[in-house]
């Protein structure tokens, strides 16, 4: 009898009465930290681990329960840490292992989680594996990477690098080409070699045994390659060409299942994959029965812009939600990250309605179905940087993209307009903590990347003092989500699929139902207030409860509890 009781208790802990899986990461709110730009504690102009530790209470007071930190491993930094030279060492610019341990302890003290960015597709060319493997074909590390014989003047095939140019680079010491889907200093690992996989699994266990709560798996859908190396048809675009050859390769899901079986399932972790896939195939990564990873980030939402709000926005989000609702799969909700311009500038309206559109996007982020990811500064409504020329931009992909546009015959000025709007540096400018020099990010004379000049108007200190700020609205949304499981586990239904201005949807859990109404335009929109509903929260504050309730103001967000 006792055994049956314990089984019942266990099931209750993980599933509610509606059968909802209650793994911790489904209910959490994730905050992404780009460490170079978060907080500089030692005054060298670069953010560091001690700086993150100093700001744990800011995140805790906001209501954040999980942080995801971009790579801070030892690295030459050619791709901002995604070129790892030593998986088990902290890069000195970010601090020491003792600093990491102190950060982790501070998070655990507040019952917060940490997920680390893990790059398993490639290493830096300065990694010891590649140093030895590229020196001789007889090296035991040579087969850790992907090689093709040939001669210096003839590439193995037409495979392109995602960062531009060929995916093949000549190595004079072994007189072979090695494969790299990103920079030539980021050689791809050979996952077909069992020693590679076991070495990576051992490294992952090192961090998990320290107490890390999971990983964001960078470019994870690229780890399996088609070793027949067929030529690609690039006429339909690079990602279509990569599919089946480099992306979603022949052994990908077998390797993910093996990683889960040998590492992940032994810990209570959250894994989210950076995956290039269509929505109809996405479930294969995340369906619980497949035992691969917890969730994925899909890119369609990150590619949305102001020109694609309204029906295109809803079609994108609803399509992915529908695809991932089946087979007990889970979704993530993300509007920007370190690789994309800021959401309020890209999707919202940062000129006339910055505060209003930032709040509206926050309401979507924290009431939609899935685990929400907030990118640092998003809770402040931080905007894109007003770049004036290409020399101000450090993003390596921006420079390769600028050169490519020039080669296509575009003028320098026209090419720069495109790059300024799309460069990853828009999201990477330092966090604006206050109105002091360099926005309180650093005491150095010059930070690694310039602070947005709007920091005197947009900063955390001023918003903490303003109860109508974007920051306070995010805190209210997070608290509302935590207190009402319907906003986490509730079923989703779009009530306005054909409306070009309003996004109206319900979340329903057993007898509870909530309705979220978002005006995605810069104009007032008529709206029929639900007769059985009670307004719980409006992005316009108390005025939204009294003035013209049948009219939604520009970018207004309302949340109703229905009876």
Same domain, 108 and 168: no
Q: Which of 201-205, 295-299, 426-430 has the lowest mean pLDDT?
A: 295-299
pLDDT value at position 327?
Answer: 64
Q: Which of 81-90, 319-328, 435-444, 512-521 has the lowest mean pLDDT?
A: 319-328
Same domain, 249 and 332: no
The catalytic residue among 65, 91, 99, 218 is 218
Write the burial class of residue 545 (CB in 10 Å: 0-12 exposed, 13-18 middle, 19+ buried): middle
Same domain, 116 and 143: no
Same domain, 409 and 558: no
Active site residue 274: yes
Same domain, 286 and 299: no
pLDDT value at position 543?
Answer: 57
- Residue 403: is its pLDDT beyond 50? yes
Same domain, 262 and 206: no
Range of the domain at 159: 128-179
Out of 453, 477, 501, a domain closes at 477
Share of the chain above pLDDT 70, in %: 94
- Residue 310: is its pLDDT beyond 90? no
Query: Model confidence at 531, in pLDDT bands (50, 70, 90)?
Result: confident
User: How many domains is the chain built from?
Assistant: 4
Q: Quick check: is 353 in a domain? A: yes
Query: Model confidence at 13, in pLDDT bands (50, 70, 90)?
Result: very low
The catalytic residue among 91, 274, 356, 378 is 274
What H or E segment, with its residue span, contains residue 101?
A: helix 97-109
Same domain, 402 and 441: yes
Count the alpha carbons within 13 Å of 392 in the hemisphere toward its beta carbon. 16
Q: Which of 113-127, 276-290, 315-329, 417-431 has the lowest mean pLDDT?
A: 315-329
Average of per-residue pLDDT values in the chain: 92
> What does pTM read for this prediction?
0.93
Active site residue 278: no
Domain of residue 516, CATH code: 2.60.40.1180
Residue with tokens 């005491």: 443
Strands 551-552 and 113-119: unpaired
Q: Write the DSSP symbol of residue 217.
A: E
- Residue 380: is its pLDDT beyond 50? yes
- Residue 11: is its pLDDT beyond 80? no
Q: Measured between alpha carbons, how far is residue 549 from residues 343, 540, 544 in Å? A: 28, 12, 7
Same domain, 448 and 498: no
Same domain, 304 and 224: no
Query: Model confidence at 520, in pLDDT bands (50, 70, 90)?
Result: very high
Same domain, 39 and 67: yes
Query: Model confidence at 16, in pLDDT bands (50, 70, 90)?
Result: very low
Rounded CA-CA distance 359/555 in Å is: 8
- Average pLDDT for residues 362-376, to the nearest whole number? 97
Residues paired with residue 145 on neighbouring β-strands, in sequence order = 189
Q: pLDDT tens digits, residue range 133-167?
A: 999 999 999 999 999 998 898 999 999 999 989 99
Q: pLDDT tens digits, residue range 476-492?
A: 999 999 999 999 999 99
């Amino acid at each position: 009898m006792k055994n049956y009781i314990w089984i019942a208790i266990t099931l209750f802990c993980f599933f509610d009465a509606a059968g909802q899986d209650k793994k911790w990461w489904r209910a959490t709110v994730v905050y992404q930290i780009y460490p170079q730009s978060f907080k500089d504690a030692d005054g060298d102009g670069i953010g560091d681990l001690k700086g993150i530790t100093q700001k744990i209470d800011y995140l805790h007071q906001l209501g954040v329960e999980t942080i995801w930190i971009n790579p801070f491993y030892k690295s030459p930094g050619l791709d901002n840490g995604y070129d790892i030279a030593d998986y088990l060492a902290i890069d000195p610019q970010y601090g020491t292992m003792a600093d990491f341990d102190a950060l982790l302890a501070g998070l655990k003290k507040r019952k917060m989680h940490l997920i680390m960015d893990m790059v398993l597709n490639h290493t830096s060319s300065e990694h010891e594996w590649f140093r030895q493997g590229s020196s001789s074909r007889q090296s035991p590390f040579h087969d850790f990477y992907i090689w093709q014989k040939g001669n210096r003047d003839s590439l193995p095939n037409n495979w392109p690098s995602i960062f531009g140019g060929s995916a093949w680079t000549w190595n004079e010491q072994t007189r072979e080409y090695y494969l790299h889907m990103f920079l030539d200093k980021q050689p791809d690992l050979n996952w077909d070699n069992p020693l590679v996989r076991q070495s990576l699994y051992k490294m992952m266990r090192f961090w998990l045994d320290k107490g890390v709560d999971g990983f964001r798996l960078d470019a994870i859908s690229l780890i399996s390659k088609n070793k027949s190396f067929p030529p690609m048809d690039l006429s339909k675009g690079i990602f279509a060409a990569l599919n089946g050859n480099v992306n979603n390769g022949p052994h990908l899901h077998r390797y993910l299942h093996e990683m889960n079986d040998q590492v992940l399932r032994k810990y209570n972790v959250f894994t989210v994959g950076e995956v290039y896939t269509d929505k109809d195939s996405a479930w294969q990564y995340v369906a619980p029965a497949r035992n691969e990873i917890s969730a994925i980030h899909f890119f369609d939402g990150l590619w949305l812009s102001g020109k694609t709000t309204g029906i295109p926005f809803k079609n994108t989000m609803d399509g992915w939600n529908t695809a991932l609702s089946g087979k007990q799969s889970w979704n993530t909700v993300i509007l920007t990250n370190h690789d994309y311009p800021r959401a309020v500038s890209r999707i919202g309206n940062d000129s006339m309605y910055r505060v209003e559109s930032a709040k509206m996007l926050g309401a979507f982020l924290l009431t939609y179905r899935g685990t929400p990811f907030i990118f640092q500064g998003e809770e402040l409504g931080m905007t894109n940087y007003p770049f004036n020329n290409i020399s101000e931009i450090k993003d390596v992909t921006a420079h390769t993209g600028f050169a490519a546009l020039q080669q296509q015959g575009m003028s320098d000025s026209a090419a720069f307009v495109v790059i300024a709007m799309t460069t990853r540096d828009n999201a990477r400018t330092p966090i604006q903590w206050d109105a002091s020099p360099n926005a309180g990010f650093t005491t150095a004379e010059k930070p690694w990347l310039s602070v947005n000049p709007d920091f005197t108007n947009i900063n955390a200190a001023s918003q903490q003092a303003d109860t109508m700020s974007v920051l306070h609205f995010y805190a209210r949304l997070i608290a509302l989500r935590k207190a009402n499981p319907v906003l986490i586990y509730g079923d989703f239904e779009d009530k306005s699929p054909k409306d070009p201005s309003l996004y109206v949807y319900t979340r329903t859990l057993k007898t509870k139902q909530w309705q979220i109404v978002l005006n995605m335009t810069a104009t007032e929109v008529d709206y029929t207030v639900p007769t059985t509903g009670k307004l719980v929260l409006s992005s316009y504050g108390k005025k939204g409860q009294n003035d013209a309730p049948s009219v939604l103001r520009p970018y207004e967000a309302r949340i109703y509890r229905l009876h």
